[in-house]
Amino acid sequence: MSKSLDEIDLKILSEIQADGRITNVELAKRVGISPPPCLRRVRTLEEEGYIQGYRGLLDPQRLGFEVTVFASVHLSSQADADLRAFEEFVRGEPLVRECWMLSGEVDFILKCVAPDMATFQDFVSHLTAAPHVRNVRTSLVLHSSKYAAAVPLELKVPD
């Protein structure tokens, strides 16, 4: 059973979302409570699944991943077993960073990164040969205008 989120919980989530490395003492100060109850609240939010984990956001280009592409994948079958098989296939592909199942004409959209176009083209050949893949359409990212890997908590009203 999930707990109701109050204003303090939402402040905690907002601060952690902005800086996952914040200390408990600093977090407590920013949300206006003492450190022990703050730590208890954070642990409860983790246990309840509101906080799924902590990770650093890396710059793909600085690390040599110059190419970002979205691939729209249409399968020849939408049977549950075939959808699950495709998802399992994608989980094993390191160039695929995100995979979303969609409604409508496209079954999946994949966000991929690669060090260069040749590497990505090799991956597309591998992808199109995967079971039940009817076709793949790719769109090369030219520029990113917004990247917000965060939930818009400012729109959430406490329960």
**Paired tokens of 82:** 């075939």
Architecture of the domain delimited by 67-140:
2-Layer Sandwich (3.30)
Q: Alpha helices of 19-145 — where are they, by DSSP H?
A: 24-31, 35-47, 80-91, 117-128
Q: How confident is the model over 1-47, as pLDDT tens digits?
A: 456 899 999 999 999 999 999 999 999 999 999 999 999 999 999 99
Whether the predicted pLDDT of 145 surpasses 70: yes
CA-based angle 105:111:117, to the nearest 5? 110
Q: 7-55 — its CATH code?
A: 1.10.10.10
Share the mean pLDDT of the chain.
94
Is a pLDDT exceeding 60 seen at residue 115? yes
Distance CA 82, CA 71 (A): 18
Greater confidence (149 vs 107) lies with 107
Strand intervals (E) in the chain: 67-75, 96-101, 108-114, 133-140
pLDDT digits (tens, 9 = 90+) for 93-112: 999 999 999 999 999 999 99
Largest CA distance in the chain: 57
The pLDDT of residue 154 is above 90: no
Q: Quote the pLDDT of residue 2.
A: 56
State mean pLDDT over 130-156.
Answer: 92
Q: How do the domains of the chain map onto residue ranges? A: 7-55, 67-140
